[in-house]
Amino acid sequence: MTQNDLALRLDMHKSQVSQVERGVHNISLDTLERFTNAITGTPIPSKGLRYRDIVGERLRNQRKKKGITQEGLGAMAGFSVLFVGRVERGEGATSLDQIEHLASVLEISSDDLLTGP
């Protein structure tokens, strides 16, 4: 699939697609979901869940597994407890950089949050 084809499927400008491909543009989980669905042609995730809901649930599970509170994770990561709560509930636009940072603070791979263990 060309950048033009992908841009048309996503209703985005080709330059935006190019920036994402080159890692110049930090994308949100919602945008990652749109790219994945456009490329595969299959809704991911399935069962009507949003990708950010699944990532939020995985974050909550990993945090609890390590015995860390939302307040503790927020303090360790330099984020507010409100932000951590929103991510765990799948609310708002969370960027891949933020997910990678939270995973690093929890000493896990960002893949554990994005694709599961």
Per-residue pLDDT reduced to its tens digit, 8-52: 888 888 888 888 877 776 777 778 778 887 887 776 665 667 888
pLDDT (0 to 100) of residue 5: 86
* Whole-number Å distance between alpha carbons of 21 and 17: 6
Specify the higher pLDDT residue, 56 or 92: 56
List the domain range (segments joined by +) for residue 31.
3-40
pLDDT (0 to 100) of residue 10: 81
pLDDT (0 to 100) of residue 34: 80
Q: Cα dist. 110→10, 82, 96 in Å? A: 25, 21, 9
Residues 71 and 108 in one domain: yes
pTM of the prediction? 0.74
Residues 58 and 102 in one domain: yes
Report residue 83's pLDDT band, with 50, 70 and 90 as the boundaries: very high
Residues 33 and 64 in one domain: no
* Whole-number Å distance between alpha carbons of 38 and 9: 6
